[in-house]
Amino acid sequence: MPVYTAPVRDTLFVLNDVLHLDRYANLPGFTEATPDMVGAILEQGGAFVQEVLHPLNQVGDEHGCKRADDGSVTTPPGFRDAYAQFVEGGWGTLSAPTEYGGQGMPHVIATAFEEYMISANMAFAMYPGLTHGAIAAIQVVGSDAQKRKYLPNMIAGTWTGTMNLTEPHCGTDLGLLRTKAEEQPDGSYRITGTKIFISAGEHDLAENIIHLVLAKRTGAPDNVKGISLFIVPKFLVNDDGTLGARNGVTCGAIEKKMGIHGNATCVLNYDGATGYLIGEAEKGLAAMFIMMNAARLGVGLQGLSQGEIAYQNAVKYARERLQGRALTGPADPSAKADPIIVHPDVRRMLMDMRAWNEGGRALILWGALMVDLTHKAASEEERERANDLVSLLTPVIKGVLTDKGYEGATLAQQCFGGHGYIREHGMDQFVRDARIAMIYEGTNGVQAMDLVGRKLAQNGGRALRTFLEIVSAYCAEQKTDEKMAPIVEPLEKAVGQLQAATMWLMQNGLANPNNAGAAAYPYMHLLGLVAVGHMWAQMARASLDALAAGASDVGFHEAKLITARHFAARHLPETASLRRKIEAGAETIMALAADVF
């Protein structure tokens, strides 16, 4: 069975030494988040996921979810019990607002814990994960009455939530959706239509499920401007908070998928179900994007999480499996063979995974901190700056880190040789589970278009300018330290590639939007390399400072410095060929007639 240990030491390094959470101690929620408190939460959270969720990961994959003829759904053995413990421990309440029963901690702390939960059991973690998205939408666009009615139970976890966008003929292009909402005399709506790919759509974990559903009101424009958002509870909720009648929404089928078998991905049939408009009519898309943006960071986290657990298992196998001899002579002459971790090509895979996992963790936690600052920073200027940065980098965190999570899981499987392809070792599950993260909440291609077509241009390019200023200033400041040179010099070159590519895009993307479309994917990865490179520079700085201050865990910090140099030497140079791809333009991509392919 695969192993997993929550990387608490590494998380604390990012939170304390790189992001310096103590600098925000004056902000709401951060005051209580002292290093000791955060350390205790993460240790306990790590122990919980290791002991309770991780042992169910392969079980969930093997058993999957079962739908009975009446449309009820049973989750895999052990999931109900584990979910009860999750609720009991209050693990879903960490960063929820105190007025609805949450603990009011910073989002960045909850994110750190969620990484562990997803590593331990991604399919399980999706049940509370989707709930968080629904909570976010209700918090922002719901009426006070709606908040009081739904949030306390959703935050506690006794109810879960879902997001209902996709229909059989309509995924990315939501303007095409057909689900109808007919207004009733009492102000509620009758919702009718079919939604597909609804994660956690039906299950036996919670008393109630609060579906957030996109639909078109009668007479609304038949395009994206006609979409409204509705709350459709599985069980209607009485005014006193007790559960009422079963609503007209049923699970028509569970999809058979490549992975995440432990999560019930449902076809949901709405058959005149009672729904309640949430937020303004015909503004449903904007409301849905609140959920989507939170969800996209969560999906980026899934990439990291699968990369991390896959890496841990590859390391263990590489230390134990005896096969061949070190190229420089036997490492252990007393044995018949050396452990495969002596082989440079095995180490290449391990170091590549490690560099992306640790760098990705830093980037995601930084992004989560920006989400906190968007709401909580003291000045309007700081809030705007944080919002600019996280908006810009959300598609990068989602798109790049899920690509790298899949790549990492594939590399980890590769370290196992033939044993990685055999299901009992569990390595193929990480690959199959990681695969979905590149697809849902907007495919990675859609993320790239969001970045290039929307985020770059917003406010006259302010966000990218801010980002480039931060990274350039950091390089200028650090490059005088010769110990930082092996990281900062490649980073500066990478920034140069990013600037040149951006210039090309401005000059050629407006003239021909297909140039922007053709450049989007490599541009997203180029920005991702710079963003993660910037995190690696900061981690290297933090480790140099710690060593200079006489830190006791010398090995930890030396490993950071080596891994930082590895990222700089072997990954940042990819920015050059990404720029070449961007500058190649759309010509060969658009030239073939559709029927010639």
Active site residues: 441
Cα–Cα distance, 210 to 231 (Å, whole number): 7
Strand, helix or coil at 252? strand
Euclidean distance between CA atoms 22 and 148, whole angstroms: 33
Residue (191 or 438) nearer to a second copy, CB = 438
Nearer to a second copy, 194 or 514 (CB): 514
In angstroms, what is the minimal distance from the CB of 415 to a second copy?
9
Q: Judge contact between 121 and 52, C-beta under 8 A.
A: no
What is the β-pairing status of strands 265-277 and 249-254?
A: antiparallel
Q: What does the H/E/C string look like for 489-517?
A: HHHHHHHHHHHHHHHHHHHHHCCCHHHHH
* The residue type at 106: P
What residues contact 462, with CB distance under 8 A and at least 6 apart? 388
For residue 339, the Cα-to-chain-centroid distance in whole angstroms is 34
Q: Shortest Cβ distance from residue 233 to a second copy (Å)?
A: 25
d(C-alpha 95, C-alpha 125), whole Å: 16
| Residue 68 CB, nearest approach to a second copy (Å) | 21
CB of 412 to a second copy, least distance (A): 12
Closest to a second copy by CB, 244 or 513: 513
Q: 354 or 385: whose CB is closer to a second copy?
A: 354
**Residue 1 vs 476, nearer CB to a second copy:** 1
Q: CA-CA distance, 228 to 214, in Å (whole number)?
A: 6
- Residue pair 50/120 in contact (Cβ under 8 Å)? The answer is yes
Task: Give the HSE-up count for residue 319: Cα atoms under 13 Å, Cβ half-sphere.
Answer: 6
Nearer to a second copy, 215 or 346 (CB): 346
Strand pairing partners for 246?
A: 235
Sequence-distant (6+) residues with CB within 8 A of 293 are: 391, 394
- Residue 575 CB, nearest approach to a second copy (Å): 8
Which 3 state secondary structure label does DSSP give 89?
coil
H-helix or E-strand spanning residue 178:
none
Which residue has 């541009």 as its token pair?
Answer: 523
**Nearer residue to a second copy within complex by CB, 161 or 517:** 517
Looking at the Cβ atoms of 117 and 518, the one nearer to a second copy is 518
For the bound state, the minimum distance from the C-beta of residue 454 to a second copy, rounded and expressed in Å, comes to 13
CB of 265 to a second copy, least distance (A): 8
CB of 348 to a second copy, least distance (A): 5
Most distant CA pair in the chain, distance: 84
- The CA-atom distances, in angstroms, between 129 and each of 2, 71, 134, 340, 524 are 23, 23, 9, 37, 25
Residues in the chain: 597
Cα(99)–Cα(108) distance, rounded to whole angstroms?
19
Q: What single-letter amino acid sits at 584?
A: A
* Element housing 274 (H / E): strand 265-277
Q: Which is nearer to a second copy, 158 or 414 (CB)?
A: 414
